[in-house]
Amino acid sequence: MGKRTDRYILLIDCPDAKGLVAKVSTALFEREVNILSNREFVDPESGHFFMRTEFSGTTNHDELLDALRHMLPDSGNIRLAEKCKKRLVVLATKEPHCLGDLLIRSAYNDLNASIEAVIGNRVTLGPLVEKFKIPFHLVSSENKDRLDHAMEMMNIIKTYNPDFLVLAKYMRVLPPEFVAQFRNRIVNIHHSFLPAFIGANPYKQAYERGVKIIGATAHFVTDNLDEGPIIDQDVVPVNHRFTSVTMSKAGKDVEKTVLAKALDLVVNDRVFVSGNKTVVFD
Amino acid sequence: MGKRTDRYILLIDCPDAKGLVAKVSTALFEREVNILSNREFVDPESGHFFMRTEFSGTTNHDELLDALRHMLPDSGNIRLAEKCKKRLVVLATKEPHCLGDLLIRSAYNDLNASIEAVIGNRVTLGPLVEKFKIPFHLVSSENKDRLDHAMEMMNIIKTYNPDFLVLAKYMRVLPPEFVAQFRNRIVNIHHSFLPAFIGANPYKQAYERGVKIIGATAHFVTDNLDEGPIIDQDVVPVNHRFTSVTMSKAGKDVEKTVLAKALDLVVNDRVFVSGNKTVVFD
Amino acid sequence: MGKRTDRYILLIDCPDAKGLVAKVSTALFEREVNILSNREFVDPESGHFFMRTEFSGTTNHDELLDALRHMLPDSGNIRLAEKCKKRLVVLATKEPHCLGDLLIRSAYNDLNASIEAVIGNRVTLGPLVEKFKIPFHLVSSENKDRLDHAMEMMNIIKTYNPDFLVLAKYMRVLPPEFVAQFRNRIVNIHHSFLPAFIGANPYKQAYERGVKIIGATAHFVTDNLDEGPIIDQDVVPVNHRFTSVTMSKAGKDVEKTVLAKALDLVVNDRVFVSGNKTVVFD
Amino acid sequence: MGKRTDRYILLIDCPDAKGLVAKVSTALFEREVNILSNREFVDPESGHFFMRTEFSGTTNHDELLDALRHMLPDSGNIRLAEKCKKRLVVLATKEPHCLGDLLIRSAYNDLNASIEAVIGNRVTLGPLVEKFKIPFHLVSSENKDRLDHAMEMMNIIKTYNPDFLVLAKYMRVLPPEFVAQFRNRIVNIHHSFLPAFIGANPYKQAYERGVKIIGATAHFVTDNLDEGPIIDQDVVPVNHRFTSVTMSKAGKDVEKTVLAKALDLVVNDRVFVSGNKTVVFD
């Protein structure tokens, strides 16, 4: 990374210490870049410091990062991201609403990301994807070991070199070996207000419990099903007239909106993972 | 119940059958009362029929009920309620927000119910209750068996002849023997979006899970803690800057609003219990 | 309309009178159809009665309508609609989010309606529409009188014989002569929480006023811009960090969800127009 | 202000310039105080910079302020507030819900403020206030010039030396001479989603327009009725079954919650006024 003139995002997280903001902001000031926005947070429980700074201006990035590394604790993470479109690969199964929404957003530049490819474990969504001139790969899971199936997908995924994977109602559990290769870079949409209704058929569970609000949760995928760090959640009211079918229909709108909002945060480098939680500088 | 001229609410629930609405509405039409509103619902799963009709006008109620009983299935429930203030006894522990809200609503006729008495298992809320010239009974649970304590409260409750009991952040579990005496007539406010975070310290649980929305649930009390029929729920957004303490503070506003809204529905005879769910004609 | 065996919706509105529910429900009971749901409302201000009954079963519809007409007031409207897909023609200009959302819903049977054609006053959205194998008509308004332009569109519209027109961010005012031909059958999405921010650039107006919530409104089109009967509204929180551009981006999700929800109500015959308001049996 | 050891809030606003965050945070770092949270914002339109820093630790405040004044633009505002309870005087008329809510919050330390006195232009709310052992002053407006009446209140207000005035459903317009004495320090709750339904009877206006959502707005009072900087807003859904009376009832819960939330922000020094908008560091 040499000299540049565009917009950049500096992402720092490290154990908290006195003067971190002073040091970082002075380092940027001395290099005469123009800070556009600045967000910090210290987790009171873990004592960890998070900072996101958006700036424009010409500076030598290698030199800046080097200087920052010398002034911050050894165990910290420092990253300088160019403000640019991220590359996504989407996994899906049969339902078109989340995938369709992402395809239209991507096609019309409403998402700061490009969908490089879609992988389906069923053929259903192929025609939808192809309307948008995006490669669709069918990787059937039939008669395959879970790990073999996942690694078959991974081989395809790697050819696209994506920044993030998106599970747009992909209805199979991914094995730890797969998840490990995209740690904190796989975004899933779960069709319930987690931690309520973990697992299969959340709308059926919600119907049976007689809840008056249903919801959706976008989260990073970890090895524990539906238990990864939550990025965003939203809800919609229901009542006794709803069946599990009409709950599912009402829930779809929340699912696609929450997934898109979470992705918008993620691809704009606004989300830090902090233990099993997220710090979101929205 | 003889002839009356005011407003009444007819509540019917029974196994569904063809012609129920026709029969009931014709029975009312023939008696020349004025139907003000009419709501029906058939639960598609249980095949149970629910109907709430508000009417005004002079008719012989005993005769009307008798006629309806002859035309509806044997196993049905028919009830004719005068549209009048209900009597409440409130149980509370230490937190003033829900109780205070109910006291002010009751004092200023914003709740179609009168608070006849408040029972506390601690002395804390006595002074607040007494401001409103309402009897406060301290029934300490210290050194008492759970059932003995509950029945000591029940003895006091019965002297007030309440229509409903309200648990306004009453922080102890009630034994089945107590609950049985007010079946589907005890309204509790739980400080989470059930079924998420059942039991103690839901805000701590919510904080630890890193959710982005918290909520509150008003429900009827059954023998299973936090598992009774849900009457109403609402939520409020939170983010990484919230601690379990500030979540609790934000949640209080939802708790008191949801409890008051649920009570408003209950005391206006708008809530049927249907299995472990509610049918709410709001 | 002769004998049928499927699902039907009976829609009645007339001046209120005693016994209307009894008469209608008895008429249906006598014909042995199976009532699936029943909703009524009497507007307390106008004294007008609205009733929507969904039923299944074999009966002679002409005979039923004839019988109902004899028992209801002369000035009433009685309509028996088959529960079937409605035909839509969509008008749009440049923004793809609402149109794209409708195209995907329609393609995947998530909307009880088919999009027969899309008319654009600009060429922008043609490629999106054509992905879905739906006719796109460009009717440029350049150098045309407003009425001439509208009537040119009307000529095309009529060839598709639509039940409803949808303005999916169609950014021109339609003349009264056009509106008159689809009275209470044109659904518009306005990108503000009406009646706030009527007219052009509502997000700019919202930004300048410094509101903390923005919204969208779906309404029937009348001769008065943005003043027709409101079908549905929803909102999304904003804060000082939003510009009119990011408000617009956040608002798009509400716009498309509200439009789709309103259309879902309209095409399922759940919306009555009552003066300048709607009665929505959701 | 000499040496202190508690928690403080540093509030800065000035024209934006490069290095402001670096300068301020370095000044604090050099004085070895402990920064608890830090929030900044630059208004892209006005180019104005806002910063709120909460810190603990021993330092000489006069010296710190002096140093900051030398390093920031001349036209800036710098304020160092002790984190302590603010003093409020509340004005009200007849409705008890907002006032009652504030009284209970204040009595139970749920609001970082003390209600020093309540002034009513009617006698109605006196008994409620007196339950809480807070002075109630009746200042009738009958047969009085608007300005005379306002200044009679102001004379009483000044004896309490309040930080902020709260209009808790005070139903009269205050003259500019009154407002000028508490510039950006009078918080009003308006019972609509501003800018919709400015002025009298917003629920009646909302009912007549047939909106599907109603709301409430807390704002600072300026000379233009209902047009001051908005601090917070919230909404609640309604439908065709609501009358202006039941809208008003539903709206009360939003009114009191929004007012309390706005006050919580204001008394914790989290709100800057920026032109006719607010910057809220929540």
Q: Which of D226, D253, D264, D282 is catalytic?
A: D226
Cα-only R_g, chain C: 21
Q: Which residues of chain A make contact with D10, given a CB cutoff of 8 A?
A: none
Q: Which residues of A touch D40 (CB under 8 A)?
A: 38
Interchain contact, A110 vs C97, CB within 8 Å:
yes
Nearest chain A residue to C96 by CA distance is A108
Are B137 and B195 in a shared domain? yes
Nearest to C240 among D194, D233, D279 (CB): D279
Domain count, chain D: 2
SS3 of residue C59 by DSSP: strand
CB contacts of C104 in chain A (<8 Å) are 96-97, 100-101, 104, 128
Spatial contact of C93 and C123, defined as CB atoms under 8 Å apart: no
* φ and ψ at residue A26, rounded to 5 degrees: -70, -40
Same domain, A178 and A74: no
- Bridge partners of D280, per DSSP, are D271
What's the distance, Cα to Cα, between the start and end of chain C in Å? Answer: 27
Contact A100 C104 (CB under 8 A): yes
Residue B43 and residue B274 in contact, taking contact as beta carbons nearer than 8 Å = yes
Is the Cβ of B253 closer than 8 Å to some Cβ of chain D? yes
b (16+ CB within 10 A) / e for B248-269: bebbbbbbbbbbbbbbbbbbbb
Contact assignment for D108 to B96 by CB distance below 8 Å = yes
Q: Check pLDDT > 90 for residue A3.
A: no
Distance from C-alpha of C43 to C-alpha of C49, rounded to nearest angstrom:
7
Residue % of chain C over a pLDDT of 90: 87
**Cross-strand pairs, C216:** C234
Q: Which amino acid is at B253?
A: D
3-state class (DSSP) for residue C47: coil
* D5 pLDDT higher than 70: no
DSSP string covering C87-100: EEEEEE-S--HHHH
CB atoms within 10 A of CB B140: 12
Q: What pLDDT band is residue B5 in, cutting at 50, 70 and 90?
A: very low
Dihedral sign (CA B113, B117, B119, B122)? positive
The full DSSP string for A64-105 is HHHHHHHHS-TT-EEEEEES-PEEEEEEE-S--HHHHHHHHH
Q: pLDDT tens, A178-214?
A: 999 999 999 999 999 999 998 889 999 999 999 999 9
Q: What angle do CA B218, B219, B223 make, to 5 degrees?
A: 145
Across the interface, whether the CB atoms of D132 and B131 are under 8 A apart is answered yes
D104 touches chain C (CB under 8 A): no
pLDDT of A89 above 90: yes
Which pLDDT does position D179 carry in this prediction?
A: 97
Residue B199's pLDDT band (cuts 50, 70, 90): confident
Q: Are residues D237 and D162 in the same domain?
A: yes
Q: From the list C96, C108, C260, which residue is nearest A104 (CB)?
A: C96
Whether the model pTM is above 0.90 = yes
Q: What is the pLDDT of residues B125-170, one digit of tens each?
A: 999 999 999 999 999 999 999 999 999 999 999 999 999 999 999 9
Q: Do B213 and A193 touch (CB under 8 A)?
A: yes
Contact list, B231 vs chain A (CB under 8 Å): 212
For the record, the structure tokens of C263 come out as 């259309």
CB contact under 8 A, A260 and C249: no
Touching B: A residues 255-274, CB under 8 Å: 274
Q: How many helices (H) and strands (E) does chain B have?
A: 8, 15
Q: How far is CA C156 from CA C120, C144, C188, D182, in A?
A: 12, 16, 19, 62
User: A57 with A73, same domain?
Assistant: yes
Q: Residue D4: what pLDDT?
A: 44
> What is the pLDDT at residue D154?
98
Task: Quote the minimal CA–CA distance from C270 to chain B in Å.
Answer: 16
Chains within contact range of chain A (3+ C-beta pairs < 8 Å): B, C, D
Same domain, A225 and A178: yes
| Distance, CA of B234 to CA of D236 (rounded, Å) | 11
- Please give the residue of chain B at the shortest CA–CA distance from A240: B279
Same domain, B231 and B256: yes
Per-residue pLDDT reduced to its tens digit, C48-87: 999 999 998 888 989 999 999 999 988 889 999 888 899 9
- Residue C206 backbone dihedrals phi, psi, to 5 degrees: -65, -40
Burial class, C60, CB count within 10 angstroms (exposed 0-12 / middle 13-18 / buried 19+): middle
Q: Rounded distance, CA B94 to CA D242, Å? A: 36
| Interchain pair A110, C261: CB under 8 A | no
CB contacts < 8 A (A, B) = 81
Task: Report CB contact under 8 Å: A18, D38.
Answer: no
Largest CA distance in chain A: 63
A–D CB contacts, 8 A cutoff, strictly below: 47
Same domain assignment for residues B148 and B76 = no
C164 or A3: which carries more pLDDT confidence? C164
Q: State the pLDDT confidence band at D3, using cuts at 50, 70 and 90.
A: very low
Q: Does D213 touch chain C (CB under 8 A)?
A: yes
Question: What would the mean pLDDT of C217-238 be, rounded to a whole number?
Answer: 95
* Confidence band of C224 (pLDDT split at 50, 70, 90): confident
Q: Tell me the chain C residues in contact with residue B58 when contact means C-beta distances shorter than 8 Å.
A: none
Contacts of D173 (CB under 8 A, 6+ apart): D146, D225
Q: Is the pLDDT of residue C5 over 80?
A: no
Q: In the structure encoding, which two tokens stand for residue B87, read together?
A: 């009597």
Which strands, in side-by-side order, build the sheet including B164-167? B136-138, B113-120, B86-92, B164-167, B186-190, B213-220, B230-237
Could you report the per-residue pLDDT of B14-50, keeping only the tens digit for each?
Answer: 999 999 999 999 999 999 998 888 999 999 889 999 9
- Give the pLDDT confidence score for residue A142 in this predicted structure: 93
d(CA A146, CA B63): 69
Backbone angles phi, psi at D185, to 5 degrees: -130, 15
Label residue B3 by pLDDT band (50, 70, 90). very low
The first and second tokens of residue B24, run together, are 């009931």
Residue of D nearest to A40 (CA): D38
| Residues of B with a known catalytic role | 226
> Domain range holding B253?
86-280
Could you give the dihedral angle defined by the CA atoms of residues B190, B194, B196 and B201, in that order, rounded to the nearest 10 degrees? 0
Residue that finishes a domain, picked among C33, C66, C82: C82
CATH assignment of the domain containing B44: 3.30.70.260
Whether the CB of D234 is below 8 Å from some CB of chain C: the reply is yes
Tens-digit pLDDT profile for residues B75-85: 899 999 888 89
How confident is the model over B237-268, as pLDDT tens digits? 999 999 999 999 999 999 999 999 999 999 99
A110 vs C249: CB contact, 8 Å cut-off? yes
Chain D: give the shortest CA distance to residue B253, in Å. Answer: 7
Active-site residues of C, by number, are 226
* pLDDT at residue C3 tops 90: no
Nearest to A257 among C100, C107, C253 (CB): C253
Please name the residue of chain A whose CA is at the shortest distance from the CA of residue C256: A253
Return the pLDDT at B74: 82
Q: Which of A54, A101, A236, A267 to mutate to test the interface with C (most CBs of C within 10 A)?
A: A101
The two structure tokens encoding residue D28 = 């604090």
Query: In terms of domains, do C148 and C39 share one?
Result: no
What is the distance, to the nearest Å, from the Cα of residue A71 to the centroid of all Cα atoms in its chain?
30
Query: Exposed (0-12), middle (13-18) or buried (19+): which is B175, by Cβ within 10 Å?
Result: middle
Report yes or no: C258 and C280 within 8 Å, Cβ to Cβ. no
- For B1-63, the DSSP string reads --EE-SEEEEEEEEE--TTHHHHHHHHHHHTT-EEEEEEEEEETTTTEEEEEEEEES-EEHHH
CB contact under 8 A, B29 and C18: yes
Per-residue pLDDT, D237: 96
Partner chains of B (3+ C-beta pairs under 8 Å): A, C, D
End residue of a domain, out of C82, C99, C115: C82
Give the rounded percent of residues in chain D with a pLDDT score beyond 70: 98
A234 touches chain B (CB under 8 A): yes
Residues in chain A with CB shorter than 8 Å from the CB of C248 are none
Q: C124: Cβ–Cβ under 8 A, 6 or more apart, which residues?
A: C93, C94, C96
The span from the CA of A22 to the CA of B197, in Å, is 40
Residue B70 has a CB neighbour count (10 Å cut-off) of 9
Domain boundary among D47, D82, D117: D82
B52 and B281 in contact (C-beta within 8 Å)? yes
User: Which residues on chain D are in Cβ contact (under 8 Å) with A40?
Assistant: 38
Mean pLDDT over residues B202-215, rounded? 95
Which one of A13, A101, A163, A226 is the catalytic residue? Answer: A226
Contact (CB, 8 A) for C219 and C194: yes
User: Is B198 near chain A, with CB under 8 Å?
Assistant: no
The pLDDT of D184-192, averaged and rounded, is 96
Q: What letter represents residue D241's amino acid? A: R
Structure tokens at C195: 């009646």
Phi, psi of C189, deg, nearest 5: -110, 125
Q: Give the model's confidence band at B226: pLDDT under 50 very low, under 70 low, under 90 confident, else very high.
A: confident
Say if residues A115 and A42 touch (Cβ distance below 8 Å).
no
Residue D98 shares a structural domain with residue D61: no
Q: Is the same domain home to D248 and D113?
A: yes
**For strand C213-220 and strand C186-190, is the pairing parallel, antiparallel, or unpaired?**
antiparallel
Tell me whether residue D226 is one of the annotated catalytic residues.
Answer: yes
List subunits contacting chain C, requiring 3 or more Cβ pairs under 8 Å.
A, B, D
Res. D145: pLDDT tops 90: yes
We report the CATH number of the domain holding residue D143 as: 3.40.50.170
| CA distances, C192 to each of C207, C236, D120, D178, D214 (Å) | 12, 11, 37, 34, 14
User: Among all residues of chain B, which has the CA nearest to that of D241?
Assistant: B282
8 Å CB contact of C38 and B40: yes
Residues in Cβ contact with C202 at an 8 Å cutoff, skipping those fewer than 6 apart: C190, C191, C192, C196
Query: What pLDDT shows up at residue A6?
Result: 80
What DSSP designation does C44 have?
T
Give yes or no for A236 touching D (CB within 8 A).
Answer: no
Question: Both B103 and B68 in a single domain?
Answer: no
Dihedral over Cα of B187, B188, B189, B192: its sign: negative
Asked if B197 is an interface residue toward chain A (Cβ–Cβ < 8 A), one would say yes
Going by C-alpha positions, the residue among B272, B274, B232 that lies closest to residue B11 is B272
Q: Which residues of B touch C235 (CB under 8 A)?
A: none
Q: Angle formed by the axes of helices C61-71 and C20-30, to 10°?
A: 150
Do residue D197 and residue C195 have CB atoms under 8 angstroms apart? yes
ipTM over 0.90: yes
D120-137: average pLDDT: 98
Q: Is the CB of D29 less than 8 angstroms away from the CB of A37?
A: no
Let me know the angle formed at the C-alpha of D236 by D233 and D237, rounded to the nearest 5 degrees: 140
Residues of B whose CB is below 8 A from C36:
42
The pLDDT of residue C82 is: 85
Q: Which chains touch D (3 or more CB pairs under 8 A)?
A: A, B, C
pLDDT, one tens digit per residue, over B97-121 is 999 999 999 999 999 999 999 999 9
Please tell me if residue C69 touches chain A, with a CB cutoff of 8 Å: no
What does the alpha-carbon distance between residue D115 and residue D164 come to, in Å, rounded to a whole number? 10
Q: How many CB pairs under 8 A join A and C?
A: 42
Rounded distance, CA C70 to CA D97, Å?
51
Q: Could you tell me if A33 and A145 lie in one domain?
A: no
